[in-house]
Amino acid sequence: MELRQHTLALEAELGVRIKLIPIPREIMEKNRKNPTPFLEMALLEAEAVCRKAEG
């Protein structure tokens, strides 16, 4: 719950959207034989913002 509140504060401060994705337990287990693939691909969408320096 605290993590989500911190995320919401960052979103408001920075004007971005943050999506938290849980890591499956199988990936974290030390005794796994093969790494389990993530079910979702990472995606980053961004728009460049250019500002002229005043002075």
pLDDT at 9 (0 to 100): 92
CA–CA separation, 27 and 51 (whole Å): 42
Check: CB of residue 11 under 8 Å from CB of residue 18: yes
In a domain, 49, yes or no: no
Residue for token digits 């969408």? 45
- Is the torsion defined by CA of 6, 12, 13, 18 positive or negative? positive
In a domain, 55, yes or no: no
In a domain, 2, yes or no: yes
CA–CA separation, 45 and 27 (whole Å): 26
Instruction: State the Cα angle at 48 between 50 and 10, rounded to 5°.
Output: 105
pLDDT in tens, 22-43: 777 776 676 766 655 655 566 7
| Domains contained in the chain, number | 1
pTM for the full predicted model: 0.43
